[in-house]
Structure 1
Amino acid sequence: MAAPAEEASAAASPPPPASPRDGVTEEAPAPPARLRGFWLLGEDKSVHRALGGGKTADVLLWKDKKTSAAVVGGATILWVLFEVVEYHLLTLVSQVLIVALTILFLWSNATVFINKSPPNVPEVQISEDLAVNIALRLRADINKALGLLREIALGHDLMKFLGVIVALWILGEVGELCELLRLMYIVVLILHTVPILYHKYQDQVDDFAAKAHTELCKQYKVLDAKVLSKIPRAPPKDKKQN
Structure 2
Amino acid sequence: MACTTLTRLLKPLLLPLASGDHFIDPPVVLAPMAGITNAPFRTLCREQGAGLFVSEMVTARALIERRPETLRMIVPGKDEWPRSVQLYSVDPTTMRAAVTMLGKENLADHIDMNFGCPVPKVTRKGGGAALPFKRKLFSNIVQAAVEAAKPFGIPVTVKMRIGIDSDHHTYLEAAQSAADLGVAWVALHARTAAQMYEGKADWSAITRLVEHLKPSGVPVLGNGDIWSG
TM (normalized to structure 1)?
Answer: 0.17
Give the structure with higher Rg (CA). Answer: 1
Higher-RCO chain (CA-CA 8 Å, sequence separation at least 6)? 1
TM (normalized to structure 2)?
Answer: 0.18
Higher helix share: 1
